[in-house]
Chain A
Amino acid sequence: MARASGIYQEEIIPSPMRQIWLHFLSYPVAVLGLWVFIILILVALIGPFVAPYPPHYVHTDALLFPPSWHPDGHIAYFLGTDDLGRDIFSNLLYGVRTTFGASLIVTMCAAFFGIILGVFSGMSKGLKSSILNHILDATLAIPSLLLAIVLVAISGQSLTNVMIAVGVALVPQFMRATHTAVHHELPREYVVAAKLDGANQVQVFFHVILPNILNALVVQTTLAISIAIIDIATLGFLRIGVPSPTSEWGAMLADGVDLIFIAPWNVTIPGLAIFVSVLAINLVGYGLQRAVKEGLG
C-alpha cells in the first residue's frame, strides 16, 4: 500500500487509521451513507430552528393536506399534514432528535457500559468468566426489543425510560462483541510477548489489545445504532414507546396507519425517514467493515 508522491521516489506509508479512512472513501455508497449520517446529525442539532412550525401546532384549516408536489398539496406544508392539521415536515424534523438522536446517545451509553463489562468478562478466566458468560447467554437469548418492551412496561412510558430500556437491551450485544474480540486476541503471540515483557493486565489491555479490537467495536457500534433506531421506532409503532405528544417516527407511522385509506403519505413519509437513516448507518457500517478488513489485511 505504498504511495508515491512528489518528484522524488518517496514511500509514505499511511497510518492504519488513515488507511482505513482511504479505503472507506473508495466506496461511494459508504460515503453517501456517511453524508446522510452527517446531515441527520446536523438536523438533530438545528432541526427545531429550521422547522417551519411547532411540531404539534394544529392547523385547523389544513387537515390532511397531501405533500406539496401533489396537485392538491400546498407548499406551506411541504410534506403535507396529518388528520389534526399538524405539519408532517416539522414533525419529521423534530423526530430526528427522538428517533435518530436518542439512538445515538443510547448507543454511546450502551457501548460504554457494554465494552467495560465485555472487557472484564473477556480478560477474566475460570469461574468468574464462566458465570459472566452464562448471564450473558441468558440475556442475549431475550430478544433486545422484547427486553426493551418489558423494561418500558416496568418503568412506564417516557422518552428517558425508552432510551434506558433500549440501551440496557443493547448492552449484552456490546458485551458479547467485546468479549469475543478480547478472547480472540488474548492467545495471540504478540499478547503473550507483551506479557512476557512484564506488562500487567491493565497495560496489556490498553496498549496491546485495545488498538486491535477497536475496529470490531466500531463496526458493532454502527450495527447497534441501526438496531437502536429500529427498536425505538418499533416501540413507538406499537404505541408502547415515547408517549404521544413527542414527535417520533415510529409513533407517527402508527398514527398514519389509521389514515391509510385517505392519507397514505402519513405512512410512507415517516417510514421512509426510518428506512433512509437505518440504511445510511448500515452503509457506513458496511464501508467500515470492508475498509477495516482490507486496510489491515
Chain B
Amino acid sequence: MYLMINSVKFFLKYSILPFFLFLAGCEPNHMDGERVAPGIVYCSEGDPTTFNPQLTTTGTTTDATSYQLYNRLVEYDPALGSIMPGLAHHWHINENGKIYTFYLRKEVPFHSNKIFTPTRHFNADDVLFSFNRIIDSQHPYNQVSGGTYPFFQSVGFSSLIEKIVKVHPHMITIHLKEKDSSFLANLAANFAVILSKEYGDQLLASQTPAKIDTMPIGTGPFYLDSYFQSNHIRYKPNKSYWGGAPTIEQLVFDITPKSTNRIAKLLTGDCDVSALPQSSELEILRRNLNLELQIQTGFNVSYFAFNLKKPPFDQPKVRQAIAHAINKRAIIEAVYYGSATEADSILPPLSWAYNDELTQYKYNPELSKQLLAEVGLGQGFEMDIWTSPVQRIYNPNAIKTAELLQGQLANIGVKVNIISYGWSVFLGKLNSYEYDSVLLGWTADNADPDNFFRPIFSCAALASGSNRTNWCSQELDQLFTKAISSTNQKDRTAVYHEVLEKLNVQLPLIPIAHALRFQVKNRSITGMPLNPYGGIAFAKSRRSASAGSRIGAQ
C-alpha cells in the first residue's frame, strides 16, 4: 500500500503542480505592461436608449452621444457661462428678438460608416433637416423612432418657431413667433444636435429610416465604431474633426451600472474615468494617489413627485402633510453622505432666479398627522413610491431614498410600497401614469432658470412625458411664457419668484436635494473639465505619456 500512496503522490505532484504554474502564469504583472493603444475607457452608468439625443432627456443617452458624436449650432461654455460658436461661427438677433440669423461653418465633414459615405460637407440643408424633423409633423422623419422629442416639446419648439429659412448654403434664419430669451440656450442644449440630411435621404431611399438613430452619423469629434448592448460602446476619433482631431486613438464607454463595479474597475485599471461615484466611496477615492476626484456644484434637483390625478394626492393638504413628514437632513446624510444641499425649491440656490423667501416645510410629523386628520385621513393610507433603478447625478441611490421615506412616512401612518423596474421598462411605465408618486430629478442643461420650469411643469411637458406630476396649470404656463418673453433679468426674476411661491403652495412635487457633481479619473487623463450642467466631453481629453503605462496596480 505504501508504494501505491507514493505513486499517487507522484501523480498528484505532477498533475497539480502544472495547475499552479498555470495560475502563476496568469497573475497579471501590469507594472511592465505597455498600454495597447493610447485610448480612454470611461465607465458609464447605463445603456443609451438611442444614439440620437433629440429623442430623449436622459443623461446617460446624452453623455454617450451629444458631445462625442455631434455638434450643435452653438455651444454653451460652462466656464464662461455664455454661448459660444459651434457649427455656426457667428450669429445675430434682430431688434425685436424674433429673427435669428446663423452663419454656418464651412468645410465641416460628416462621419462615414459601413453603409454611408458622405459626398458633401455640412451645410444649411442639414440644419433644416435636423430641426424640421422635430417641428414639422409632415416631415418624413418626424414619426421615425417614436416621434417624440421630449425636450423640444417641453420648451414648445414647434409652436415657437414660425419657419426656418435657408438663405444660402451657409446661412440660415430662424423666425420665431414671439420673443424667447431662452431660445439660444435651448439651441446649445445637449439635445439640439445636427444630423446629416444626405444620410437621411439615403436611408429613406433604402427604407430603413430608423437607422439614423441607431447607426448615427454626425460631425462630432468621434464616430461610432461598434456598440455591444449592456457591455460597451466603442468610438474612434474623427481624424478630420473641424475643431481639431482628438489625440486619443479610441474611446470606449464601458457600461457598468453598479457604482461599486465602476470604482473597482477604476482601481484595477480597467477604466480611466468613471461616472457618478457614490458619495460613500469618495473617501476611498481621495486616498488613492492614482485617482483624481473632481467636484462641482451641480445644477440639478432630485424631487419626490406626486401623481396629482390620483387621490388622495389631488388634495394639496395631503401633499403638504407628506412634506412635513420628510426629514431631508436624514436623507442627505444617509444617501448623499452630506455631498448635497437640502432643496427648498426646484431651483438651486446658485441660480439668479432663486427665491430665498419661501415658507419652508419643516420636518414636523405632528403637524403632518394633524393635516392628514383635517382631510379625513387621520388613520393613514397606503401608497406606492416608484423609484428609478439607476444611479443619477441628482440621486445616487433612489431605492435607498425610498427606503428612508418608507420609514419616515410610517411615522405618520402612511404605508409605503417601493416599486422599481429596469430603467427602460421604468421609463415606459411612467408614461402611463399608473404611479402614486415617483422619485426622480432633473439636471439642467444650461444656466437659464427656464430649464427648471418648462420641462418639468408645463402643459407641453405633460404631453411629451417629462412632466411627472400629471398636472399643469394655465396660470403657470402663462407665467412661464411671460418670463421668457423678456430679456431683462430683473423682470424675469420677479416672475420666477411668483412661480416658485405658487409651486411652494401647490406642492405638486417635493424638492429633496441639490447634489454635488463628481467625476473620478486616473491622474494620467487630462483635458476633461467637469461640466456643472451634466454632459461629458472627451474631445480634448488626453492621456499623459508618463503615467500612461500603468494599469492601476500599486
Contacts and interface: CB of A to CB of B under 8 A. Distances in A.
Contacts, number: 47
A244 B280 contact: no
B404 interface: yes
Contact of B283 (A83, A245, A262): A262
Interface in B320-367: 327, 330, 333-334
Nearest to A262: B280
Contacts of A259: 280
Interface residues of B, number: 21
B407 A258 contact: no
A260 to B, nearest CB: 6
Contacts of B281: 261-262
Contacts of A244: 399, 403, 418
Interface in B381-435: 397, 399-400, 403-404, 406-407, 418
Interface string B267-303: 0000000000010110110000000000000000000
Interface stretch (A55-63, A101-109, A195-203): A55-63
Given A60-B334, A261-B281, A83 B400 contact: yes
Nearest to A257: B260
B263 A261 contact: yes
A257 B281 CA distance: 12
B292 to A, nearest CB: 17
B334 A56 contact: no
Q: Which of B263, B278, B283, B397 has most chain A Cβ within 10 Å?
A: B278
Contact of A58 (B259, B283, B284, B404): B404
Given A244-B399, A261-B260, A261-B284, A83 B334 contact: yes
Contacts of B260: 257-258, 260-261
Interface string B256-269: 00111001000000
Contacts of A261: 260, 263, 280-281, 284
Contacts of B334: 58, 60, 63, 83-85
B407 A56 contact: yes
A257 B407 CA distance: 22
B272 to A, nearest CB: 19
Interface in A37-69: 56-58, 60, 63
Contacts of B283: 262
Interface string A249-267: 0000000011111100000
A60 B333 contact: yes
A84 B404 contact: yes
A244 B419 CA distance: 10
Contacts of B399: 244
A57 B283 CA distance: 26
A83 B284 CA distance: 16
A56 B416 CA distance: 13
Nearest to A63: B334
B418 A63 contact: no
A262 B259 CA distance: 13
A60 B330 CA distance: 7
Interface in A83-124: 83-85
A258 B397 CA distance: 10
Given A63-B333, A83-B280, A262-B280, A58 B407 contact: yes
A122 to B, nearest CB: 41
Contacts of A57: 407
Nearest to B406: A245
A243 B406 CA distance: 13
A264 to B, nearest CB: 11
A258 B403 contact: no
B125 to A, nearest CB: 49
Contacts of A260: 260
Contacts of B333: 60, 63
Contacts of B404: 58, 84
Q: Which of B278, B280, B284 has most chain A Cβ within 10 Å?
A: B280
Interface of B: 258-260, 263, 278, 280-281, 283-284, 327, 330, 333-334, 397, 399-400, 403-404, 406-407, 418
Interface of A: 56-58, 60, 63, 83-85, 243-245, 257-262
Q: Which 3 A-B pairs have the closest CB atoms?
A: A261-B284, A58-B407, A60-B330
